[in-house]
Amino acid sequence: MSNARLSRPTRRGILAATGAIGLGAALAACGDGGSKDGGSSPAGAAKKSGPWSYKDDRGKTVKLDKVPTEIVAFTGMGAALYDYGIQVKGVFGPTTTKGGKPDVQAGDMPVDKVTVIGNEWGQFNIEKYAGLAPQVLITTIFDGAGTLWYVPEESAKKVAKLAPSVGISVYDRQLTTPLEHVYKLAESLGADLKADKVVKAKKRFEDAAARLRKAAKANPDIKVLAGSASPDIFYVSGTNLSIDLEYFKALGVNFVEPSEGAKKASGGWFENLSWENVNKHKADIIMMDDRAQAIQPADIDEPTWKKLPAVKAGQVIARSPEPILSYDKCAPMLENLAKAIETAKKVS
């Protein structure tokens, strides 16, 4: 698969498909406050001393005199590290909703104990970031060029001067690869991988994968469609670039794929459908983007949506297009899809 650099229009298209822009009302710029407790680690993180280094998915190695504790991360990465006992100091990306509640991408991370330096796409408060005296910035990568996710292009050079960065690629690979990379990153930062919670979560993930493989093998005719809703467009995701869908497909799940022409127009990610044409693809199960930026199934008031066989059969489940990369958060994703396939009626 091509790892060519995505053009700016395609990057914006990806954002639309993944809910960062163009999916209903944008998130409000809340979370300007922080907590004095921001740099502390929750119980379960071991104290490590001495030099620290980590080679990221761009092939770049960050070397520091000591293990960093002043960490700023993309919200989902902060949430993943929290599951391993590592509390970051600041975050950027969808962290709180309009009502001030934790965004789905914040997971179990206490949002009142982090400084939010940007809550929407394009927001990244350089002054606030500098004020945190960051030792390292950690985020994901959605393209083959190593572009740091949610770091605005226009301020990327300024951000880079303030602290080294670590990028975990979630582009064109299966879920298990970034999961393992974050697992090892957390260990380098002081996480106790032998902690009961961590061991149980990893075992649960492995069991869930086996269950999903078994369910898919037993029900090969059940077709699954991954979608995301906006006021004017229904996005149908392809499986070739998304870490969750690539992995589910490798386990045997039978996915509906967008047309080749549509995928080519979006850089391989998705197909745009008007609501009038939402019935173009036949599916028995529909997985819908669960993030706050996307319109949720219960709020879709389109007649064509309500007439879809999978919707009428109640065979619509949630999908996390930007999963929190910890075994604790990814295991339920596999379990939910396995259960849906095990119990689905053939309606397509």
HSE-CB of 279 using CA atoms within 13 angstroms: 14
What's the pTM? 0.87
CA atoms of 275 and 337, how far apart (whole Å): 25
Walk along the chain (348 residues) and give the pLDDT tens digit of each residue: 333 323 333 444 445 444 333 322 222 223 333 333 333 344 445 556 689 999 999 999 999 999 999 999 999 999 999 999 999 999 999 999 988 899 999 999 999 999 999 999 999 999 999 999 999 999 999 999 999 999 999 999 999 999 999 999 999 999 999 999 999 999 999 999 999 999 999 999 999 999 999 999 999 999 999 999 999 999 999 999 999 999 999 999 999 999 877 767 777 788 999 999 999 999 999 999 999 889 999 999 999 999 999 999 999 999 999 999 999 999 999 999 999 999 999 999
Q: Mapping DSSP to helix (H, G, I), strand (E, B) and coil, where does residue 96 land?
A: strand
| CA quadruple 45, 48, 53, 56: dihedral, nearest 10 | -10
Contacts of 205 (CB under 8 A, 6+ apart): 179, 327, 330, 331, 334
Cβ neighbours, 10 Å, residue 335: 17
Q: Given its phi and psi angles, is residue 340 left (phi above 0), alpha (psi -120 to 50 degrees) or beta?
A: alpha
Beta strands 90-92 and 71-74 are parallel
Q: Phi/psi of residue 139, each to 5°? A: -155, -175
Q: Centre a 10 Å sphere on the Cβ of residue 100 and count the other Cβ atoms it contains.
A: 11
Which residues are CB-neighbours of 9 under 8 A, at least 6 positions away?
none
